[in-house]
Structure 1
């Protein structure tokens, strides 16, 4: 039911009332009358309050009848304020029995909120226990009036269907393309072959969809991946059939390209996670690359994940879906298990020819004999492989931590080195710097171990810059380049070099890397995270995929325990089997994605009050609340976890949303953070 804001709701906006404009003596106020047809406008008001997450009815004056189209931006009066909103529907009458107010202004007659995006945003808000307005902020970019006035380009004719290209190497690749062209919408979880061909495969799938007269949305993790897929699409489609949406475009150019999609001039979109809401006409395919990357989870409320949003969008629009990567997540394995998607893989014989030779440091004979070599950060196997490969081309060195020395300990008793003031961890920025506290920034040059009174420290965690410094001394004749937070390289040449990179920042090498060293596997596997092993395998495979095939001498050395299932999955290049194993173990333990979880984080009193007021489903299980945060900090913050079977996910989200709305209606501004399907549950 749509309503008008009542007196109690208006009082929630704690702002002074606007002064009434002065009326000129003798001037009569202009009389307005509602539009003759469909005079009622239902408006989604731009307000963050959960209990106002519903449309409100306003009258459309006859002077705005032509401009007030469904989907346009409007302004309305709400509690004597002029607020923005979206007109979602025109109706003949209202259920509200009182006197309706008129629309204040039609900002633009451009219908930026399409019915498909509106329905998707409503479904996403309900799934994540959020508000429609929060989702619309993520889905629709800010308006630029000058850009809207620019002429609309002509819609180009559909291109001819492309050749299968890379899809000929996959067992069901031809059938997948045929279904995109003229069959029922295919949904696939795709394990890509190692190498650079993944972008060309995505471009062929998108071009096949566009040639069939339908639209396509491609979501990738970062701007470098956008550039690669953009180039592949341009080579197949030409410059006018698609657009690339990235954050570095600037507001005006981004809105210009977004409007090209809205107006139907561009039928395909490639971009980062915000592109998942792109208003593509007649959607035929959604593509998500590397779905395990945590950048696909939006950090703004209601914290939607691109995998969930695109799956919901494909289901609602009757479109195909392609969720791909060099690995397979347990979430993607669950999509296969439920029958929602089918696996799309290559033959094992082809995979063995395309993958590099992968060895774990622990399988070396010398390491088995020498305990000191087994505990070394760069054992002889890794050094030998690097020296041999450096004669043929660049060598990639993946280091899980950025920085220099990120964690220090007492050189005598190995106790962690902590600040005397706040007990924060100490670290070093460079070889000539003094130890400093990573929490308060205090310089700790006179540090003494409180346990044994020793003055010297040793490194516990070595970062990428320190690793590059060590390798420069070990390989004095080779140039050493770094790629990480300070500077991310896009590509390196074929000449011999050492490239030290943090995960996700690895540059592509012309002709592929001759070898790769995956250091400090313990740092990835030892994290207190449910997804630690899955994330380690994803990072390892993404780096190994940049190495030349074994038939060309490509080698990968991973420094991790070879007896672990995740290490064996890398050596065999079997991410599908590992994902199935992970899903089975999580089902036994009651962990996502086998179940649905929600977290409530915030002030301890607020979390407990919110939990006690929840009308939970019958099978819901409460875990906590427990304190969260580092020792000595955020001690008043608590988190509670709620666990329900997948079939009760909707009921859990509805209960969380109702509780948040009730607190909002009581003017409680200190709301706890609610996240459904959080990435970090441990």
Structure 2
């Protein structure tokens, strides 16, 4: 029987082996540093980056180092991602260099988003010029000029460049004095600038397509910008019929991100020479541009509502000057800005001789209506005098449509006291009252507030106590209803707001529209009735007269010539300069009067002006920090909107104006003041706009 071994005494046990000392783990920061160790690019390892940060005091380039792995893809003009203030932000690589003035350690570019050079040197120079002109930042302008990236469209192979077209037939331009000379300069690649006043009834899309074909046949690019998609469709169709679909591309925001980026890349890569589009097309990067065109430059949609608020006309002028190309400001009417270009000698007027004008223009008859009678709903006959009523009936009997322009849309947009004409307001929220239209149990609906929607069944004027109401301006729908009863048997169509018609057939019908929504009629309208002219002329706006004439002429240009029975009736006093300009069809004369008044009042374009809007403290702070040139003058600030009992308002606006030669100094001063404000991290928002359209 075996016995268990005796236990070994503790003092006889071998000593435990000492464990080797563990090495301390490196910190996460050091590990990440070793993992991210990079070598700089072998050539020009310094990248100058424009970061996409809308802060004025950061409006410059920043130097970064290019890693060796991105040496081939980091090309000038490409999109990159960099770390800025601890965050990854987008940017554009504008230049590669061998050295830097930065004395610290440069950070590396995180990655190249796309190696497509979407910011070529010419576009970069243009964007910098626009930013300097309007006192804005380069990143804001780049956001307007370069569309968002779409990877699939970018990966598609580039299209073959369109062939050079043959010179077109341009005999129709011979009707305009200096017209052939302008096209000759374009064909010979000589810079020429002109302001074209198109004849009424002119096929202006065809004329502009001919000018574009002249430039394209000389091997140069073309950029043409129009106000809306209806004009764009007409112009694009005219260019395609003359140049072919492969030579023309249309750029418009409604295309969607993929298609828009695809077309923009086709322009960038030189596949097409002619670009037509709406406002965003003013930055289209065409190769070797030789002709820039803006149609109807007085339309307010040509002013971008994003900072720094550039205008199409001014941007295209800068491009024409930089590219030594030609500029054409075109339209039926003429703005004070276009007249300034003519009087300064920068541009030549392209106008037709008086015999050509008399043969093309409709017969214009002013039917001056009294201000009070025109607003009286009980005197409906005054809105359509007997002479205009008879002309409309003759046009319908002759087989032609009749255009009726009404300044407002809707049923009855505004109501006033029937006794003292004080505006009618809601007793609950002080909002404006209007008639919604329609019936309730066979009776007309009562007035209702346009703000809160509560009906007002027991109206009493706050000023005189009267219970009577009258229409301030009868809208397009109410006018269509009245005309439908007056011209029974003929269809009535409306165009405006979300129901804009592009064209109507050349058949007897009444077409009621708001200004700017006039559809084109096949063969032209037999007559046009421009109602409630006082509503357009009475607006509190410095450009009220200019804008009214532009809208009237756009409608009257769609009417058949007076030699063929075309008639235009305008509801305004014959003695007004705006009415006389329409009767004589002489917008240049009216533009010269407008420009003379602007010079006397000290408003653009005779002077450069900046509008500063914000809270009272923000406006006051910026004005105190603004270093103006000697010609600088501050107007205001004045309150915007309603004020309290102490006369204080939540927002104010100040106007700063300088002599035109000091325009660059004003832009630089505004930029510097905004930069210091951003550097102080001011929290109150403020809006700065140079040469605003609305001053009053």
Task: Return the match for 2:303 from 272, 281, 297.
Answer: 297
1:604–1:30 Cα change, 3 Å: closer
The equivalent of 1:219 in structure 2 is: 225
Contact 1:71/1:86 (8 A) holds in 2: yes
1:586 matched residue in structure 2: 598
Distance 1:126 1:570 in 2: 38
Whether 2:46 is the aligned partner of 1:32: answer: no
| Aligned with residue 229 of structure 1, among 211, 232, 235 | 235
Aligned match of 1:490: 502
The one of 422, 435, 438 aligned to 1:428: 435
Alignment of structure 1 residues 5-20 onto 2, 5 Å: none
In the alignment, structure 1 residue 676 sits paired with structure 2 residue 682: no
Q: Is the 8 A contact 2:413 2:475 kept in 1?
A: yes
Per-residue deviation at 1:341?
0.8
1:25-424 matches, cutoff 5 A? 28-362=34-368, 376-392=382-398, 393-424=400-431
Query: Equivalent residue of 2:152, what SS?
Result: helix
State the partner residue of 1:574: 586
- Give the Cα–Cα distance (whole angstroms) in 1 for the partners of residues 648 and 488 of structure 2: 46
Q: Secondary structure at the match of 2:591?
A: helix
Q: CA deviation at 1:389?
A: 1.2
Q: Which segments of 5 or more consecutive residues in structure 2 lack a partner in the other structure?
A: 1-26, 440-444
How big is each residue's C-alpha offset from its partner over 1:375-405, in whole Å with a ceiling of 9 and x where there is no partner?
A: 9121212211111111121000011111111
Question: Is the CA contact 2:189–2:218 (under 8 Å) kept in the aligned structure 1?
Answer: no
Deviation at 1:411, TM superposition (A): 2.1
Classify 1:118/1:484 alpha carbon distance in 2 versus 1 (closer, same or farther; 3 Å). same
| Unaligned residue ranges in structure 1 (runs of 5+) | 1-20
- 1:640 counterpart = 2:654: yes
Measured against aligned partners, the alpha-carbon deviations of 1:390-447 in whole angstroms (never above 9, x if no partner) come to 1121000011111111111122332211122332221122244442333444433333
Q: Distance in 1 between matches of 2:281 and 2:639?
A: 36
Q: Which structure has the bigger radius of gyration?
A: 2
User: Partner of 1:119: helix, strand, or coil?
Assistant: helix
Task: Report the Cα offset of residue 26 of structure 1.
Answer: 11
Could you tell me which of 636, 659, 665 is aligned with 2:679? 665
Report the alpha carbon displacement of residue 453 of structure 1 after superposing the two structures with TM: 2.9
Instruction: Compare 231-240 and 30-39 and name the one that shifted more.
Output: 30-39
Q: Distance in 2 between matches of 1:22 and 1:239?
A: 59
2:460 paired residue number = 448
- What per-residue deviation string (whole Å, max 9, x for no partner) do you get for residues 458-511 of structure 1? 111211111111111111111000000021101101110000011111000000
Alpha-carbon distance, 1:452 to partner: 3.2
Deviation string for 1:556-600 (max 9, x for gaps)? 000111001110000000001111111112111212111111110
Secondary structure in 1 matching 2:388: helix
Out of 498, 502, 506, the position equivalent to 2:514 is 502
2:571 is aligned with 1:565: no
Q: 1:403 to 1:646 in 2, by over 3 A?
A: same
- Quote the Cα distance in structure 1 between the aligned partners of 2:528 and 2:579: 15
Compared CA separation, residues 557 and 33, structure 1 to 2 (3 A): same
* Worse-matched range after superposition: 243-252 or 409-418: 409-418
CA 1:25/1:100 → structure 2, altered by over 3 Å: closer, same or farther?
closer
Deviation at 1:634, TM superposition (A): 9.8
Distance 1:486 1:26, change over 3 A: closer
Q: Hey, what does 1:597 align to over in structure 2?
A: 609
Moved more, 373-382 or 638-647: 373-382
| 1:600 aligned counterpart, secondary structure | strand
Displaced runs of 4 or more, over 4 A = 21-28, 372-375, 630-634
The 3 A distance-change label for structure 1 pair 153 and 444 is: same
Work out which of the residue numbers 535, 549, 552 in structure 1 matches 2:561.
549
Q: C-alpha deviations, 1:291-335, integer Å up to 9, x for none?
A: 000000001111111011111111111110000000111100001
State the SS of the aligned residue for 2:245.
coil
* Structure 2: distance between partners of 1:248 and 1:286: 22
Distance in 2 between residues matched to 1:27 and 1:606, nearest whole Å: 45
The answer to whether the 8 A contact 1:165-1:204 is kept is no
**Aligned match of 2:11:** none
Describe the shift of the 1:634–1:216 C-alpha distance in structure 2 as closer, same or farther (beyond 3 A).
farther
TM-score by length of structure 1 reads 0.93
Give the 3 Å change call, closer, same or farther, for CA 102–514 of structure 1 in structure 2.
same
Q: Secondary structure at the match of 1:240?
A: helix
Name the structure 2 match of 1:629.
641
Distance change (3 Å), C-alpha of 1:630 and 1:204: farther
Q: Secondary structure at the match of 2:580?
A: helix
Q: Match of 1:362, SS?
A: coil
Q: In structure 1, how many angstroms separate the alpha carbons of the residues matched to 2:337 and 2:32?
A: 70
Task: Decide whether aligned partners of structure 1 residues 263 and 461 sit closer, same or farther in structure 2, where only a CA change above 3 A counts.
Answer: same
- Residue 635 of structure 1 and its aligned partner are, at CA, apart by 3.1
Q: Residue 649 of structure 1 corresponds to which residue in structure 2?
A: 663
* 1:330/1:593 contact within 8 Å kept: yes
Pairwise CA RMSD: 2.1
